[in-house]
Amino acid sequence: MTDRSTQDTVSFGFTDVPRTEKAGLVRGVFDRSARRYDLMNDLMSVGVHRVWKDMVITRANPQPGERLIDVAGGTGDLARSFLTKADRAGERRGDPRKAEAVVLDINEQMLRAGVKRGVSEAQAGRISWVTGNAECLPLKDRSAHCVTISTGIRNVTDRISALKEMRRVLKPGGRFLCLEFTRPTSRAWEKIYDAWSFNVMPTLGEWVAKDRDSYQYLVESIRRFPDQDSFADELREAGFNRVSYTNFSGGIAALHTGWA
Ligand code: SAM
């Protein structure tokens, strides 16, 4: 679907809303879904989101002593996985330096759900949970080796500002990885995916989270997000180098990468 939003309005699912209202509406969606977020993620993606996230972190190639900033990090899946993989790399090489991670999210309820889920003993004290907006990160310039954002960028009002902010906090040569729902690469696959997402996902939201509207928004927001090539151009516009993307599961999601 083409995004017909004007300068003064932005898409909120299939509805155009005043630019100033989107962040509050998105916050409402995640306030309502925070409590059941991890369970719903597993149900809606039949567990596939775990495989995608694992592929993101494998590509991130975490190293001992590195600092990750996971923007729109929600309950902290990527941060936990980054630290685990960095520790394994350290053990293999006999390097005792510990990696650390910042999980930043606009929504305190999501962060609270992540804190409540806890971390392993080995990761205790190595994850900072920070409330903030991706469009104006409360973090220092050039302070991370790696920045990730997983299924978060489509919720942001001003994508280019957020992408520039994520580039700002990366050290020179640092890597940026963005996982997002995108466009299936074949018409037949798109039809199956549409049937699943427009029928099953809002119904699951209604049954499990008692909230059909939030899951209807999630499905619609995916359709309003640019296609893979257009989003790659936005990364270049924000100043990233060597931009490329890899489709996951026939283009249902894609991993875009770039370098500061
Ligand atoms: N990254 C996590 C994951 O992959 O499980 C959470 C993804 S969840 C679908 C989207 C997250 O984006 C929510 O936690 C929401 O609060 C956050 N979010 C939405 N708009 C944001 C913004 N402008 N700045 C920071 N976080 C935002």
Inter-residue contact 169 to 139 (CB < 8 Å): yes
61 has a pLDDT exceeding 80: yes
User: What is the number of the ligand 1 atom nearest to the C-alpha of 72?
Assistant: 26
Distance 74 CA to ligand 1 centre (A): 5
Q: Where are the domains of the chain?
A: 8-259
Q: How confident is the model at residue 189 (pLDDT cuts 50, 70, 90)?
A: very high
Lowest mean pLDDT among 52-56, 97-101, 218-222: 218-222
**Mean pLDDT of the residues in the chain:** 92
pTM above 0.85, yes or no: yes
Lowest mean pLDDT among 38-47, 118-127, 192-201: 38-47
Sign of the dihedral through C-alpha 187, 191, 196, 202? positive
| pLDDT of res. 2 | 42
Ligand 1 pocket list (CB less than 6 A): 23, 26, 30, 72-74, 77, 105-107, 110, 133-135, 150-152, 155-156
241 has a pLDDT exceeding 60: yes
| pLDDT of res. 68 | 98
Sequence-distant (≥ 6) Cβ neighbours of residue 182 within 8 angstroms: 225, 227, 228, 231, 247, 251, 252, 253, 254
| pLDDT of res. 35 | 79
Q: What is the pLDDT of residues 24-42, one digit of tens each?
A: 888 888 888 787 878 888 8
| pLDDT of res. 201 | 87
Distance 73 CA to ligand 1 centre (A): 6
1 has a pLDDT exceeding 50: no
Distance 151 CA to ligand 1 centre (A): 7
User: What is the number of the ligand 1 atom nearest to the C-alpha of 156?
Assistant: 23
Lowest mean pLDDT among 73-87, 108-122, 181-195, 200-214: 200-214
Q: What is the pLDDT of residues 131-187, one digit of tens each?
A: 999 999 999 999 999 999 999 999 999 999 999 999 999 999 999 999 999 999 999
Distance 220 CA to ligand 1 centre (A): 16
Alpha-carbon gap, residue 198 to 256, rounded angstroms: 25
User: Within 10 A of 192 (CB to CB), how many other CB atoms are there?
Assistant: 12
| pLDDT of res. 186 | 95
The pick from 39, 55, 106 for probing ligand 1's pocket by mutation, whose C-beta has the most ligand atoms within 8 angstroms, reads: 106
210 has a pLDDT exceeding 90: no
What is the architecture, at CATH level 2, of domain 8-259?
A: 3-Layer(aba) Sandwich (3.40)
Inter-residue contact 241 to 259 (CB < 8 Å): yes
What does DSSP assign to residue 192? H
